[in-house]
A and B are shown apart, each in its own frame.
Chain A
């Protein structure tokens, strides 16, 4: 079948049909991205925290801008080559375009990876700490700052991966599972942990259940916890629920029929509330239900849970799968192996709302009061800030909030390795002093292995009660990262989609080129229009997310 108006223009529109189609699609895309840009403006104006200006590494974003602009040029060239019937040139330019999209997504991937592995923490006083957490070592292994434990010294979770030092430690003397919802991996982890600590987890009391009506199964008190036991109890419990529900329904139907007979001529709703299950009639046929299963832990043993899995109290805990713990909450600090930034901007904002001077608020912050190593770094920062303030004042300018209240990783590394009497800003740079980053660090952030040799980053243990909110630099951290991931993620999906379509023209277009080259040229033009639109969106995304 021949498709009309894919090569020749329609008389009334003057255009070939696919072109109108792509413009209609781009129009809907304009409104889609327009909505997200509006959301960005709204979130920024309405932010109740200091918006993190110029917080992303510029170099990867800059390269990505070059890459997209370059690919926009090459895709036009590829189209022009087809128009001039030069298949070889088309292949080259389209190949470059697709390679560019690969570079773009590669860099984006690195950027996302770094964010998702970088820890952020907001303290109760609104000071912010950034860095990397340490990993839990096995009980009995002692590690000093700067020591490198062997891989075999690290504690592992049920999946065998290392556990970041951000866990709730709870010494449980009793564990009560929900008999339907228990999370198998967590049960296995508890069994393994108990074995490691030479403790036993045993059924607290004898359970007499039925696997089917009249068929007794008995679970003796003192039976060790394993998944088979839980599964058997779960089956008996569910069988009982099904059996009992059926009995009640059947009985209710009988009661209803009787009530209908007893109330002739009455409407249903007039007697419905008096119709109830006759418990006495079915009692001897009900099977025992067991909604929860209690176990004793002997001796009481410390288990660790990810903060999002547990709601803890001093003497109890509730896991997300409905498991209830009794015992004692232990110290559960969050331990940063490397603190690579501290930021007081949010704290200052909160202090100013209460008419407290920033200096007083900062010097009273938990970070500076309780951590001498950070206090030392802060004192050096103050020396540098005085110099910067003086230098800027000669031009009638003042330091930014970021200069004043944030110590980024490069500044941190500088202060940590420079004695206070040698702290000095570089004249003419109008910036706080910082170490130079090498090329790899421009993409991946600080290279801890190298920087550690000079003790560039302090260690920090934060008690649980000081923590307001902790997260990786993921959408949850704040609305800036939420909109950053939403917009760049959506844009990235467009890059992938566009590249797939263009790659299809490149690798599967030869046949069409030989039979109907103008059709292929029109297809490439339409694909190119989409590609330019993707470039156009990035032209705005780059400055607003990276430079503003």
Chain B
């Protein structure tokens, strides 16, 4: 890690740059979502808007983690800790997602609620 005052002084420029990139990324995300001439995919929100929005967000998040949180040059132990957490978070998401392929009939959350349309 950059620990000497000189090295820190140097990295301050990098922090400013990353800050600027994050600002620009945010502006781009909002413009793409709100300005018709930048609307990708079909008119209005669709899967391409989602892909682009999440891609920009992922880049921004990676920059924050790598530069501001110093993950670009960190000790191995921390990679293990953080990596395991990410893996478990992904496993959890997949397990929850499996509900979509649940062979038992799934019909929204009102299923079987008395008075709702889908109650049988």
Contact = CB atoms under 8 A, between A and B. Distances in A.
Interface of A: 13-15, 19-20, 23-24, 26-28, 30-31, 33-35, 37-39, 41-42, 45-48, 53-54, 58, 62, 65-66, 69-70, 72-73, 76-77, 80, 83-85, 350, 392, 395, 397-400, 402-403, 428-431, 479, 528-529, 532-533, 535-536, 539-540, 542-544, 547-548
Given A38-B97, A39-B96, A540-B57, A532 B78 contact: no
A392 B65 CA distance: 41
Q: Is the interface of A mostly helix, strand, loop or mixed?
A: helix
Nearest to B3: A83
B117 A350 contact: yes
B57 A65 contact: no
Contacts of A26: 82, 85
B9 interface: yes
Interface in B84-120: 84-86, 88-90, 92-93, 96-97, 99-100, 106-110, 117-118
Contact of B68 (A76, A84, A540): A76
B101 to A, nearest CB: 11
B33 A54 contact: yes
A77 B12 contact: yes
A449 to B, nearest CB: 27
B72 interface: no
A91 B71 CA distance: 26
A400 B11 contact: no
A543 B89 contact: no
B89 A34 contact: yes
Given A543-B29, A547-B29, A23 B50 contact: no
A232 B114 CA distance: 41
A318 to B, nearest CB: 18
A37 B81 contact: no
A532 B68 contact: yes
Nearest to B83: A27
B6 to A, nearest CB: 9
A113 B107 CA distance: 33
Interface in B43-88: 43-45, 49-50, 53-54, 56-57, 60-61, 64-65, 68-69, 75, 77-78, 81-82, 84-86, 88
Contacts of A395: 43
B33 A547 contact: yes
Q: Is the interface of B mostly helix, strand, loop or mixed?
A: helix
Contacts of A431: 36
B43 A398 contact: yes
12 contacts: A19-B78, A45-B100, A80-B9, A83-B5, A350-B117, A392-B43, A399-B44, A400-B45, A428-B36, A431-B36, A544-B53, A547-B53
A46 B108 contact: yes
Given A20-B77, A479-B109, A532 B85 contact: no
A83 B5 CA distance: 6
Nearest to A403: B44
Contacts of B81: 20, 23-24, 27
Given A30-B82, A548-B53, A397 B42 contact: yes
> Which 10 A-B pairs have CB atoms at the shortest separation, nearest pair first?
A48-B108, A34-B89, A27-B85, A400-B44, A73-B19, A430-B36, A397-B43, A547-B33, A38-B93, A30-B85
A83 B8 contact: yes
B88 A72 contact: no
Given A38-B97, A41-B97, A430-B39, 12 more contacts: A20-B78, A34-B92, A54-B45, A69-B19, A77-B12, A399-B44, A430-B36, A430-B43, A539-B60, A543-B33, A548-B49, A548-B50
Contacts of A532: 64-65, 68-69
A46 B106 contact: yes
Contacts of B50: 548
B93 A41 contact: yes
Nearest to A46: B108
A15 B16 contact: no
A422 to B, nearest CB: 23
A484 B106 CA distance: 23
Contacts of B56: 543
Nearest to B21: A69
Nearest to A43: B109
A84 to B, nearest CB: 5
A27 B64 contact: no
B78 to A, nearest CB: 5
A547 B44 CA distance: 11
A229 B32 CA distance: 68
Contact of B42 (A70, A77, A398): A398
A535 B60 CA distance: 10
Given A403-B44, A429-B36, A65 B109 contact: no
Contacts of B106: 46
Contacts of B96: 38-39, 41-42
A45 to B, nearest CB: 6
Nearest to B34: A58
Given A27-B84, A28-B85, A539-B61, A13 B75 contact: yes
B77 A13 contact: yes
Contacts of A350: 117
Interface string B13-44: 00110110011001001100110100100111
A62 B84 contact: no
Given A72-B64, A73-B15, A48 B109 contact: yes
B120 to A, nearest CB: 14
Contact of A548 (B22, B45, B97): B45
Nearest to A24: B81
Nearest to B26: A65
Contact of B93 (A14, A34, A62, A539): A34
A46 B81 CA distance: 33
